[in-house]
Amino acid sequence: MASGNKMFDLTGKVALVTGGASGLGLGIAKAFVQNGAKVLVGSRTIDKVEGAVKELQALGGDESAGGVALDVTNDASAERAVRKAIDLYGRLDILVNSAGVMLRKPTFELKGEDFNRVYDTHVTGSLRCAQAAGHIFREQHSGCIINLASISTFVDLIEVAAYAAAKNAILGLTRSLANEWAKHGIRTNAIAPGFIPTDLNRKMIENTDRGRRILEHTPMGRFGKAEEIAGGAVFLASPAAGFINGHTLVIDGGYLASGIGDSFAPWATPEK
C-alpha cells in the first residue's frame, strides 16, 4: 500500500534491487513495495530469490515483485536483469546496488585475488549495473541510483581491508556518477549503514568482542535494523529527495558522532 504522503510515495515506480534476496537489500525491497513501487530482486542464489519474491508479494500482491538470477560480476547478467525489469513492468526508475560479499582476513595474508573478488562485487559490480540501468534512465531522462556504502567508508575496522577499500571506492563512484549523469536526469546517492546484523557480518558482530566494542561507541547502544536503512532508501528514491544528488546518507545510530566519552553499551557502568 502506498504512503499517504505523496512526497514519499513510490506508486508507479519500478526498482531493481541487486542483492535483494536477503539482508539490507531485501529490507529495502520490502519498504519499496510498502510505499507503492514494483520491485525486481536479483541475486546469484535463485532459491533465495524465489523466497524473497514470495515475501514481497505477500506485502504488495502478485504484481508487486519479481525475481531474476543476477551475478553483478558479469556484464551480460547485469544487462539481462535490467532488460527483465523492462519486460515485466515496461519501465525502470530506481536501481539499488546492494549486492556484496564480506571477507575477514589479516591484511598480511590478503591475496590479490581476494581483494579483487571483493572489489569486483562491490565497486565494479555497482558500475556494471549502473551502466546497464543508466542507458534506460538516460533515454527517459529520469532515474535514481542508490549505492550501498558502509560505516567502513569513513572509519577503519581491522582485518577487512578489501571490504573497506571497496566501500571507500563506492563513495567516489557515487560522486562521479552524480556529477556526470545529472544532466541526463539521473540522481545518484549512497547510503552508509552502521552496524546491522545480516548474513554477511552476523558472526563478526553478534556476541563477539568486536560487537561489544561497537556498541560501546554507538550512542543509541544497539545495532540497527534493516528497515531503518530501508527508510533512508525510500527517502532517497522519493520526490522528497528530488534535489539530493551525490550525497552519502549515514544511518549509524550516532557511531560516527561518538568520540571519547561514556560507553553507551547496555552493560556499561556509569562513570562516578
Tens-place pLDDT, residues 48-58: 999 999 999 99
Instruction: Lowest mean pLDDT of 47-51, 137-141, 215-219, name the range.
Output: 215-219
23 in the Ramachandran plot: left (φ > 0), alpha (ψ -120 to 50) or beta? left
Task: Report the DSSP beta bridge partners of residue 145.
Answer: 95, 188
Amino acid at the residue 230: A
Angle made by CA atoms 6, 247, 143, in degrees to the nearest 5? 55
Residue range 231-259: mean pLDDT, rounded: 96
Residue range 258-272: mean pLDDT, rounded: 57
Reply yes or no on whether the pLDDT at 266 is more than 80.
no
* Full set of structural domains in the chain with CATH: 6-200+223-257 (3.40.50.720)
CB 21 within 8 A of CB 41: yes
Helix (H) / strand (E) containing 140: helix 125-140
pLDDT tens, position by position, 17-48 = 999 999 999 999 999 999 999 999 999 999 99
Strands 14-18, 248-251: pairing is: unpaired
Concerning whether 255 is annotated as a catalytic residue, the answer is no
Reply yes or no on whether the pLDDT at 5 is more than 70.
no
The mean predicted confidence, pLDDT, of the chain is: 93
Catalytic residue among 89, 119, 163, 255: 163
Grid coordinates representing 26 are: 531485501
What's CA 47's distance to the chain center, in Å? 21
Residue range 102-107: mean pLDDT, rounded: 94
More confident of the two residues 203 and 251: 251
Grid coordinates representing 243 are: 534535489
Grid coordinates representing 181 are: 549523469
pTM here is 0.92
Q: Report the SS3 class of residue 12.
A: coil
Residue range 217-239: mean pLDDT, rounded: 96
Grid coordinates representing 151 are: 560505516
CB 194 within 8 A of CB 253: yes
Q: Report the SS3 class of residue 130.
A: helix
CB 174 within 8 A of CB 149: yes
Reply yes or no on whether the pLDDT at 4 is more than 80.
no
CB 230 within 8 A of CB 238: no
Strands 248-251, 186-193: pairing is: parallel
Reply yes or no on whether the pLDDT at 165 is more than 90.
yes
Residue 272, pLDDT score: 40
- pLDDT interval class at 267 (50, 70, 90): low
Residue range 196-218: mean pLDDT, rounded: 89
